[in-house]
Amino acid sequence: MSELKRFFDNGDETVTDSKTGLIWSKKDSWQIDEGTWLDFNEALTFVDDVNKKAYLGQWDWRLPENEEIEKLYSPEFSLTARSNVEIHISPQFEPGGGNGSWALPFDQQAAFYFSYASGQSQHFDKDFSQGYVRLVRLDPK
């Protein structure tokens, strides 16, 4: 399956990855929360808040696992993130978002942070304050 055909727009501000069965928000926290950066604990609070508000009619949004978010990356893709940074996720996602995302797992000091520009995950201190979240949920089908 071509990487370009793997992701499809559901027409409801979400994108489905047909390879993993995951549903992703087209927008990330930067776009949803009008330009707000998040440290890891704020990212957890952001997820709780969107679920309380039933973002896009759903209550089961979560942070992605590191292995899940790594699968969004493909050098075949090119999308312009904020500050005109080139990132490598499907053009089905909304342009202008962040260049990475917090991901699970985490420990007392650090959490994974995945870069859509480089395709690399790093352990960042949870107090790193210039992060973003790409919300994900399981396809109920």
Would you call 129 exposed, middle or buried from its count of C-beta atoms within 10 A (0-12, 13-18, 19+)? exposed
Domain range for 31: 3-138
- Residue 136 to residue 91: CA distance in whole angstroms: 17
Q: What is the chain's length?
A: 141
* First-to-final CA distance of the chain: 21
Q: What is the pLDDT of residues 83-129, one digit of tens each?
A: 999 999 999 999 999 999 999 988 888 899 999 999 999 988 888 88
In the chain, the number of structural domains is 1
Q: What is the pLDDT of residues 33-71, one digit of tens each?
A: 988 999 999 999 999 999 999 999 999 999 999 999 999
Q: What is the pLDDT of residues 94-106, one digit of tens each?
A: 999 999 999 998 8
| Alpha-carbon radius of gyration of the chain | 14
